[in-house]
Structure 1
């Protein structure tokens, strides 16, 4: 998610995320909010080698899947030969496997699971134009492929930032063994409320597509998903205030839930904290 309300209040350029339609009305559209590239860029052999060198005990397999509308989506299956659990990682807005994924995938590999990660459509190595509906449909197809091709005993969905909305939506209708919401908001309306200064709230109206409001992490954990839940937040996150993660945790009806509040970091870097990864490891080991 982008810190666009801060840009508005400081008088800076609004950029591509929000279109100001009047003095007090703003419109949030899918085409401008969801980051995309003009053309896909294939993974380089050098990057694949870097992944393999960073995870020498894993087998790195490039994947190319065709979506229902014939768009080609690309990513990797990272196979830990000693694991029957797969962690599916959904990246944040604008985050590409190459070059952004090397560090986080290396860190996640220490959890000793298999990992499935795909560039979502319209970004990095994947084709197409993204929307809320089609990136969720793509993720469902990828999850189905995982079960058909690899038959994991356990599946963990890990969504970071915008990716948390994909992971949570899939958790509504799929049998999974754990849900990880990392740097996550509750829903679009709460996020706007948290980011809007009190003195601007009476004068501002936000218009957004209904699809944005239908992807509601708080509703998922409160009404649909009751399995194991791990919420990871950062005390100094200015993009997605940690109060939203606390609301998710409180709303969850799971009997097995945990909140990790990472000190001294912002929206990036939560998984670089050794204590966070230790707690993450314990959480999945006990599944």
Structure 2
């Protein structure tokens, strides 16, 4: 799935509007489905079988514009820490997230994950503003319904921008930026071949520029920060994660560069998960 997104991220989602202008639009960049698909009983059973010691609770929220958002709260009975997982572009809970959720469960926290609007089991058309608004509503619901003692926001790829934006305006215990860019302009620069750069200009919605991970960690969020990057990530080059780490003003920050990893598979490396676990234990 991520390979497909990777292959189409530039060719299908960035529209060439002239010989020297590239236009990025929310409609073409943010992956979405034509209609929502309800979670199947088979998938829920597989999730429960993969996590037999956890309570799998479906979550349904109604957004402020009456859009239905759906996901799961995965309750570890031995934990009061909740990891909120914001997925990458096009990454649906069913069928793509069973492996990721199983891997994250090794951290021994509760896990809260929702299909963002317009994808998987959630309704609506995704735009930066409403995705950010939905995420805030999800975080408010988490506080009201489960009262966790600690909250970790884990954002993967596109989801890292949502996690960082929440960290700017909410009290949390840790922020994890995984396969993350600094901001839209840096990402476009990194993805533009050097021989095309002098002949190109880029147009993008202002909302894309407003969600800026580098600005968040440099100016707003100073709590514990974990940055995870793949050494061979071609979709989000490792240099962007290094730049994020360098910009952070946190006194407790850690950068993990996973050897030989691309944009996928960073968390399947045992040493990475051991370091992640140690980071949580130290909170």
Q: Provide TM-score, normalisation by structure 1.
A: 0.96
What are the within-5 Å matches in structure 2 for residues 1-287 of structure 1?
Answer: 2-3=5-6, 14-15=11-12, 17-287=13-283
1:188-224 per-position Cα deviation (integer Å, ceiling 9, x unaligned): 1111111212211110101000000000000000000
Q: Provide TM-score, normalisation by structure 2.
A: 0.97
CA contact (8 A) 1:5 1:196 kept: no
Secondary structure at the residue paired with 1:198?
coil
Following the alignment from structure 1 to structure 2, what is the Cα–Cα distance between the partners of residues 259 and 109? 21
CA contact (8 A) 1:186 1:244 kept: yes
1:85-139 per-position Cα deviation (integer Å, ceiling 9, x unaligned): 0000000000000001100000000100000000000000000000000001000
Paired residue total: 280
Following the alignment from structure 2 to structure 1, what is the Cα–Cα distance between the partners of residues 173 and 148? 11
Following the alignment from structure 2 to structure 1, what is the Cα–Cα distance between the partners of residues 189 and 9? 12
Q: Which residue of structure 2 lines up, in the alignment, with residue 11 of structure 1?
A: none
Following the alignment from structure 2 to structure 1, what is the Cα–Cα distance between the partners of residues 56 and 258? 30
Q: Unaligned stretches of 5+ in structure 1?
A: 8-13
- Residue 4 of structure 1 deviates from its aligned partner by 6.8
- Residue 3 of structure 1 deviates from its aligned partner by 4.5
CA contact (8 A) 1:6 1:195 kept: no
